[in-house]
């Protein structure tokens, strides 16, 4: 299972109800999941902000509390896998793939 939660708040913890998406149905789970800034990686920047449709661009995600193990990551941008080429505790870099035409953005 994977998930993404974007929180614009200055609090150290945040609770939310997870939702499970499966075969076109959505089920809200009954127990809250609590995110804690002490154990959750924090993304501070993405560079570059734009790339080409031909792929081959290195994209670096910078933050804190990140894993230095490249296999801990699966990065998908607009439905296209972005293989991880390096990772540290403060950044992860992947190389974009070729876009097969205009794709609705998922970021």
Please tell me the pTM assigned to this model. 0.67
Q: For residue 42, what are the β-bridge partners? A: 64
Written out in words, the top-level CATH class of the domain with range 41-99 is mainly beta
Side by side, which strands form the sheet with 58-64? 42-47, 58-64, 91-95, 84-87
Contact 55, 90 (CB under 8 A): no
- Under the banding of pLDDT at 50, 70 and 90, the label for residue 83 is very high
- Under the banding of pLDDT at 50, 70 and 90, the label for residue 104 is low
The SS3 assignment for 101 reads coil
Q: Which residues contact 28 (CB under 8 A, 6 or more apart)?
A: 17, 18, 19, 20
- Residue limits of CATH 2.60.40.10 in the chain: 41-99
């Amino acid at each position: 299972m994977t998930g993404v939660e974007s929180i614009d708040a200055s609090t150290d913890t945040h609770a939310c109800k997870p939702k499970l998406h499966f075969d076109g149905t959505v089920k809200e789970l009954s127990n809250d999941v609590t995110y804690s800034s002490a154990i959750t990686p924090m993304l501070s920047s993405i560079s570059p902000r734009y790339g080409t449709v031909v792929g081959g661009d290195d994209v670096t995600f910078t933050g804190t509390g990140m894993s230095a193990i490249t296999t801990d990551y699966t990065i998908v941008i607009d439905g296209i896998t972005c293989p991880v080429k390096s990772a540290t505790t403060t950044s992860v870099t992947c190389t974009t793939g070729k876009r097969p035409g205009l794709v609705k953005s998922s970021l």
